[in-house]
Amino acid sequence: MEQDKKISTGLKKAITHLTKVIKMLEDGEYCIDILQQNLAVIGLLRSANNKIFERHLHSCLTTAMKGTDEKKKQKMIEEILQITMIK
């Protein structure tokens, strides 16, 4: 599972950057520097989220759609709509 390793690595990098952001904030560093590091964390989390979503589409959703359980198919569609809809 090479993709899982990439996701895990990205999340670990986000943790490292987030720890740095917290320290910068606590140390009273310049706001723009903090914001730039925070944006890096957001980017890493967004990337990991997209990879997890792609993984779900290629595995869980594909399997469900090939099946005959209409309730399961509908549930999967509703889950995807729930996490992708802007509220």
| Dihedral (Cα; 43, 49, 53, 55), 10-degree rounding | 100
- Domain span at 41: 2-84
pLDDT digits (tens, 9 = 90+) for 67-79: 999 999 999 999 9
Domain count, the chain: 1
Predicted confidence at residue 86, as pLDDT, reads 57
State the pLDDT confidence band at 2, using cuts at 50, 70 and 90.
confident
How confident is the model at residue 32, as a pLDDT? 97
Average pLDDT over residues 45-66: 92
Residue 84 dihedral angles phi and psi, to the nearest 5°: -105, -15
The label of the residue with tokens 């996490």 reads 83
**Burial of residue 81, with CB atoms counted within 10 A of its CB: 0-12 exposed, 13-18 middle, 19 or more buried:** exposed
**Residue 55: which CATH number?**
1.20.58.1000
pLDDT at 84: 86
